[in-house]
Amino acid sequence: MHVSRWISSSISAATYILGTTARLLSLLLAVSILSFCLVSAAPFDPVTAFIGPEAVISPEQKAAIAAHWGLYDPPPLRYVAWLNNVLHGDMGISLIYRQPVTEILLERALASLALMGLAWALSGILGFVMGVVCGVFKGSVFDKITKTCALALSVAPTFWLALLALMVFSVFLQWFPMGMAVPAGKLAGDVTLADRLWHLILPALVLSVSGVANVTLHTREKMVTALASNYANFARARSESRWQLVRRHGLRNVALPALTLQFASFAELFGGSVLAEQVFSYPGLGSAVTAAGLRGDIPLLLGIALVSALFVFSGNVIANVLYGLIDPRIRESAKPFRPKQKKLPDTSSTSPLPNTPDTSSSPVSLPSPLPPVIALKPTGYHRRPGGCSHD
C-alpha cells in the first residue's frame, strides 16, 4: 500500500515537473515572439543605436551594415535566426554596451538580485509582523495608523518614493549616498562589502515599501478572518486565551497564504526595481531595461524580457509547490503535487444573521489559490492581482 502510494506520488511529481517545464518553454517562446514583434514594430534603428547618433556615415554605408546584419530579411526569418543563436547560447551583442548580452545579463542580474532579495526579505518579515500585530489588535491605535499608512503607501508610485527618499536621506540628511552601487571614483578592487551594502540600503528600503504595505494589509486581513472564524470561536469556547488562540490557530492559518503570496510577488518586485534602479542609477537589470528601451538596444531588450519572464515564472512555481508541500489539505490528499487548493465541503452556513458588513476589513483581497501571475513586461504602476482600491 505504501509502495503504491509512493509510486503514484512519484508519478504525479514527475507529471508536475514535466508540465511545468513545458509551460515554462511555451511561456519563453511566447514572450520572445511577442517581444520580437514589438521591437520589430517599434521605430528602432539598430544601426544608429550601434554607431551612435553623432557618427557621420553615408546612407549607403548604413544600408550595407543593415544588409550585413540581415535587417532586410522578413521578420520571421530574423526571429528564427535569433532563436537559433539563443539556443546555441548566443544572445547577441548589446548595441549600447558593446558586450555580449549574456555577460551583461549575468552581471546585472546579480546586482538586481541583491537589491530585490533584500527588499523581498524586508517586505516579507516586516509586513508579516506588522500585519499580525494589526490583526490581533484590530481597532487599536497602532492598527488604525498602520492600516492608513499601508493603504497610502501601497498606492504610492515607487519612482516618487525613490525621489523623495533621495531628497530626504541623501540630499538633506546625507545618511546615504546619491545612488549607484559602489562609491564613484573608487577602484573596483577597493570596493568593500560595506560600501556595497551602504549603497544598497536606500534603494532596497524604497523598493520594499509597497511590498511591506501590501503584505501588512494582506496578513492583517487574514489574521482578522482567522480570529473571527468558527474554529477560533470554538477554541475560545474551549477556554483558549487570546494568546493561545493567536499562537495555535492564528499564525498557523496566516503563515500559509503569506508565504505563497511572498513568492508570487516577484512580478511586482521586478516592476518596482525598474523604477527604483532608474532613480538611484543602480546598475541592475531594471536600469538596463530602461536604457535598452530608450536607445533601441534590441538584443539586450529581448534578453531582459526572457530573464524577467523566467524570474517571475520561478516565483510562481515556487509559490505553487510550497503551497502543495505546506498545506496539509493538498499534501495529504492523493495528488501531492497538484498545485490546486482543495475545496473543503461547506457543510453549513453557520450564521443565522443577515450579512454583517465588516467595515474594518482591509480592501486587499487575493484569490486564494494563486493564479499564475505572468508579467510579460514589467509596467510602472504594478498592483497585486485582485487589486487594491479604497472603499
Partner 1 sequence: MTTHTHPHTHQHYLHIHEHDLASTHHHPATYPLLSIRDLSVRFTQYERGLRQITLETVSSLSLSVDVGEVLAVVGASGSGKSLLAQAILGILPANARISGKMTFQGQELTAQRQQQLRGREIAFVPQSVDYLDPLMKVGRQVQGVRNSRQQQQAVFERYGLAPFVAHLYPFQLSGGMLRRVLIACAVIEDVSLIIADEPTPGLSHAAALEVMRHFRELADEGRAVLIITHDINLAFDVADSIAVFYAGTIFEHAPMADFIAGPDALRHPYTKALYRALPKHGFKPHPGTQPYAGALPAGCLYAKRCEWSTPECEQGTIEMRALRGGMVRCIHAL
- Which residues here bind partner 1, judged by CB under 8 A? 229-231, 233-240, 244, 248-249, 252-253, 256, 327-329, 332, 342, 344-348, 350-354, 356-357
**Choice between 238 and 390, CB closer to partner 1:** 238
Output the smallest distance, CB 387 to partner 1, in A. 24
Q: Which is nearer to partner 1, 40 or 230 (CB)?
A: 230
Closer to partner 1 by CB, 4 or 356: give it: 356
How large is the greatest C-alpha to C-alpha distance in the chain, in angstroms? 88
Q: Decide whether 58 or 351 has the Cβ nearer to partner 1.
A: 351
- Cβ contact 285:307 at 8 Å: yes
CA distance 283 to 4: 52
User: DSSP secondary structure string, 95-119?
Assistant: TTT-SBHHHHHHHHHHHHHHHHHHH
Residue 93 forms beta bridges with which residues?
Answer: 100
Distance CA(381)–CA(158), nearest Å, equals: 8
Q: Which three cell numbers stand for residue 55?
A: 557618427
Cβ 229 to partner 1, closest distance in Å? 7
Task: Name the grid cell of 27.
Answer: 511561456
Q: Which is nearer to partner 1, 174 or 347 (CB)?
A: 347
Q: Which residues contact 232 (CB under 8 A, 6 or more apart)?
A: 226, 245, 249, 250
In the chain, helix, strand, coil percent, each to 5? 65, 0, 30
Residue 8 CB, nearest approach to partner 1 (Å): 17
**What does residue 279 show for φ and ψ, rounded to 5 degrees?**
-65, -40
DSSP notation for 335-348: -TT--SPPPPP---
Nearer to partner 1 by C-beta: 282 or 323?
323
Sorted by sequence, the CB contacts under 8 Å of residue 101 that are 6+ apart come out as 91, 92, 93, 94, 299, 300, 303
Residue 145's CB is within 10 A of a number of other CB atoms, namely 11
Closest approach, Cβ 190 to partner 1, in A, equals 52
Instruction: Work out how close the CB of 15 gets to partner 1 at its nearest, in angstroms, rounded to a whole number.
Output: 23
User: CB of 327: closest distance to partner 1 in angstroms?
Assistant: 7
Q: How far is the CB of 90 from partner 1 (least distance, A)?
A: 49
Q: What string of H, E and C letters represents the secondary structure of 191-214?
A: CCHHHHHHHHHHHHHHHHHHHHHH
- Closer to partner 1 by Cβ: residue 66 or 322: 322
Alpha-carbon span 186 to 41, nearest angstrom = 42
How deeply is 301 buried, as exposed, middle or buried, from its count of CB atoms within 10 A (0-12, 13-18, 19+)? Answer: buried
Nearer to partner 1, 182 or 227 (CB): 227
Q: Kindly state the smallest distance separating residue 231's Cβ from partner 1, in Å.
A: 5
Least distance (Å) from partner 1 to the CB of residue 290? 44
- Cell reading at 105: 545579463
Question: Which H or E run contains 158?
Answer: helix 158-165
For residue 224, the minimal CB distance to partner 1 (Å) is 12
- Residue with Cβ nearer partner 1 (119 or 224): 224
Please say which residue, 74 or 352, places its beta carbon nearer to partner 1.
Answer: 352
Q: How far apart are alpha carbons 264 and 158 in whole angstroms?
A: 19
Residue 121 and residue 127: Cα distance in Å, rounded? 10
